[in-house]
Amino acid sequence: MINLFETPTLLQKIMDAKWMRHEVLANNIANVDTPNFKRSDVVFEQLLQKYLDESNSRLPLKTSTEKHISNLKSTFDLKPKIVMQHDRVLRNDGNNVDVDKEMVELAKNAMSYNIIAEQVQRHFSLLRSAVTEGRR
C-alpha cells in the first residue's frame, strides 16, 4: 500500500518522468533526418513497479535522520533513466527513428501526463476540502 504522505512525491516523480520522456521523444522527432542518430527513450515504469513491489513486501519505515536505517528506500531513490536504442536501423543513413512511432508515443505520453496532472489536482482538492471543512 502506498503511504498517503508519499503520494504527492510519487506523483511528482511520475510527472517528472513523463516530462523527461516528452523531451526525449521531441528530440527524437527533431533528429529524424540526422544521419547516424539513434533514438532514446526513458525507462521509469519498470523502476516504479519494482519500487512498489518492494514497498508492498515489507513494513513501511520512517526515520528522523538518514543515519538510522541505511537501507531504507524512498521515492527519492526513483530516478528515470534515458537509454539509447542501438538495436535496429530503419534507413541507409544509420538513423533508427520512426517518426510515426515517435508521434504515437508522444501523444500517448501527453495523455498519461494529463491523467497524472488530474490526479494531482484531485489530491490537492481533497486536501483543500479537508482544511476548509475542518475550520467549520
At 107 the pLDDT is: 97
Question: Rounded to 5 degrees, what angle do the CA atoms 12, 76, 58 make?
Answer: 110
Q: Which of 26-30, 69-73, 124-128 has the highest mean pLDDT?
A: 26-30
The predicted model gives 102-128 an average pLDDT of 92
At 123 the pLDDT is: 83
Domain range list for the chain = 7-134
